A and B are shown apart, each in its own frame.
Chain A
Amino acid sequence: MIPKAGQTTMAVLSYLEAIRETLRQEMQRDSRIIIYGEDVGVRGGVFRVTEGLQKEFGEDRVIDSPLAEAAIVGTAIGAAVNGLRPVPEIQFADFIFPAINQIVQEAARIRYRSNGTFHVPLVIRAPFGGGVHGALYHSQSVEAFFAHVPGLKVVIPATPYDAKGLLASAIQDEDPVLYFEHKAAYRSLKGEVPDERYLIPIGQADVKRQGKDISIITYGLMVSYALKAAEELEKEGISAEVLDLRSMRPLDVEAILETAKKTGKVLIVHEDNLTGGIGGEVSALISEHALFYLDAPIMRLAGPDVPAMPYSAPLEHAFMVTPEKIRDKARELAKF
């Protein structure tokens, strides 16, 4: 059961606090969960997501690891095989690449290659995304690399509420889940979060705003940006629906097709680079299954095809997708 407002006690939490409180709640109920990574223990993480957890759960459950991403993920695989529920943190998504061999070749393939006799329930948390002057190596969106890989699940919450329900689901999932947290959302996004535990099924998108003229399909920080854009568009008489994918793998094909059929005009938005991004897959699904419902070509608004986000403000702004850019593109689509 997913509790709704008014049915349970709530607290207004930031996106970051929602993640921390979920980790705490899950660790209290499941002694198999261990957290480790660079600086997650004494320091409580460079973003302070795990602050206080080592004090509460001890050094055997919240562990500062050596600075070595392949070892962080690889040891989590070994521990998961032996019945623990590791929730390792990669300090920045940009630093996940030394572990890609362990994630893609090992974690993703172990169930398949062992004919189902081994599996690795683990959750890799990593802050991602830009707009925080993080430059090339502290701003990246890496979800498309992993969404390509059968055997992995990839989720990105857009609200504090979703952050809790998705993380709880990820932790109790029997397969490896990548849980990406937008670092610009950590403190800027706040919302009501029920105290009690609840699960948001992985693979289920969510209509964050109903609309009838166009559909904006997006995820992560871009959801709140799209909602802002939708408010402005409303004033211009354009009714925009906002679909939050929440899960990049598996995609909620049904929800994608439903909104496409409903409005007939689809704008896909992501901060990740345009080419090979999630938008291409979403677009292909709509083309394959809902082409004759469309009243306009599918449009995509995404990070430009440059290697990564630059540092200096004008350059960073030129890369970032903003509410204004979404509004303008959506208007273009509505008027098609």
Chain B
Amino acid sequence: MAKSKALYGLDLDADRLRTMYYYMVLSRELDKRIWILNRQGKSAFVISGQGQEGVQVASALALNPATDWLAPYYRDMAMVMAFGMTPREVMLGQLGRALDPSSGGRQMPSHFGHHEKHILTGSSPVATQVVHAVGLAWSMKLKHEAGVVLTSLGEGSTNQGEFHEALNFAAVHRVPVIVLVENNGYAISVPQHREMAIQDVAIRAQGYGIPGVVVRGSDPLEVYQVIYEARRRAIAGDGPTLVEAKTHRYTAHSSDDDDRSYRSREQLEEEKRDDAVVRFREWLEQEKLWDREAEDTLKKRVKQEVDDATDYAEAAELPDAGTVYDHVYGSSPA
């Protein structure tokens, strides 16, 4: 774990560290609840971020939601919550309810978007959001707005042409964007060595003439530092940064996948020994910022919030079939 002293200089204080841990636990528990709803037949599809919470929460907390934007991908539940989406809002989307702020129940779950909270709507074809993030950040620069855009994607998605086009464009125009690769080692079933002939996605940055940084995803403080610095560079006009966080995916790709067919249980157990949620709690305890009592209180609070989100979303209305034609076009003044 990175040294705490350095971190206090980076805007982190004890409350913020506890908040970081809170969002990690909240996301883990909400995610687990969603799997239960899926197995109960109440939610048709789950795509999970378990294992990646450390990267996601630390990244979101290194940003300023008032000025910055996220262009996330479908595993980023912890990230969007740490950026301002509530568990209720997440659950409304998970259950396809009319009030789902991402899409009104139109998209598959975990396709997060929230205009008011500066979370850009995304799709399922991977890496398309990287280009949007670059365009949005570029427009901030053109409009002299002080802000950055953080976009995230998996390592498999970095093989897409749009990833390359986006980073090249961002580098040429020194766009204030942070591209965060959450490298969990698998593109559904295909391991990294079958996706690319390099160890570190971050070295792809060299091809664009921008910094590429590798961080350990189970160390949220290191992630925070790197994203914080990338943001500082971006705001200062120094352009984009590619950040690769080595992380883990503790579930199958989705509720329609079975990872036992391509990942041994021993391998998974090995990965679980590097769990950011556990490691960060241990560090907090070591720093005397956390104890058993705090943990019990947090667990109760989170369970209550997860229950509340579940009950709220289950009771919420489904979309009216008559709205299927809504929002194809807006009204045009022409």
- Chain A positions within 8 Å of B, measured between CB atoms, are 34, 60, 65-66, 68, 70-71, 73-84, 86, 98, 101-102, 105-106, 109-119, 150-151, 153, 169, 172-175, 199-202
Q: Which residue of B lies closest to A109 (CB)?
A: B123
* Contact yes or no, A114 B132, CB < 8 A: no
Segment at the A interface, from B10-18, B23-31, B164-172: B164-172
A74 touches B132 (CB 8 A): yes
| Interface pair B134/A75, CB less than 8 Å apart | yes
Within 8 Å by CB of A78, from B137, B145, B331, lies B137
Contacts of B121 in A (CB 8 A): 110, 113-114, 117-118
- B328 contacts across to A, CB distance below 8 A: 111-112, 150-151
From B99-107, B233-241, B251-259, the one touching the partner chain is: B99-107
Q: Given A115-B106, A173-B332, A174-B330, do A71 and B115 touch, yes or no (CB 8 Å)?
A: no
Q: How many A-B residue pairs have CB under 8 A?
A: 156
Instruction: Give the distance in Å from the alpha carbon of A98 to the alpha carbon of B131 in the complex.
Output: 13
Partner of A71, one of B102, B139, B166, B332: B166
Q: Tell me if B142 and A34 are in contact (CB < 8 A).
A: yes
**Alpha-carbon distance between A73 and B169 when the two chains are bound, in angstroms:** 12
A65 in contact with B330 (CB, 8 Å):
no
Q: Would A66 and B172 be within 8 Å (CB), given that A116-B326, A150-B328, A173-B332 are in contact?
A: yes
Chain B interface, number of residues (Cβ within 8 angstroms): 48
Given known contacts A110-B121, A114-B103, A119-B330, is B168 in contact with A78 (CB within 8 Å)? no
Say whether A60 contacts B142, CB under 8 Å: yes
CB distance from B134 to the nearest CB of A (A): 5
Minimum CB–CB distance for B309 against chain A, Å: 19
Residue among A82, A109, A173 facing the most chain B CB atoms (10 A cut-off): A82
Q: Which residues of B contact A173 (CB under 8 A)?
A: 332-334
Cβ of B125 under 8 Å from chain A: yes
Please name the residue on chain A nearest to B328 by beta carbon.
Answer: A150
Instruction: A175 to B329: give the CA distance in the assembly, Å.
Output: 6
Per-residue CB contact flags for chain B residues 72-110 toward chain A (1 = under 8 Å, else 0) read 000000000000000000000000000011111111000
Tell me, rounded to whole Å, the shortest Cβ–Cβ distance linking B13 to chain A. 32
Apart from the given pairs A114-B115, A115-B327, 20 other A-B contacts in the complex at a CB distance below 8 Å: A71-B169, A74-B134, A76-B135, A78-B133, A78-B138, A78-B139, A79-B142, A82-B139, A84-B139, A86-B135, A102-B128, A105-B123, A113-B103, A113-B121, A113-B123, A117-B115, A118-B113, A173-B332, A173-B333, A174-B330
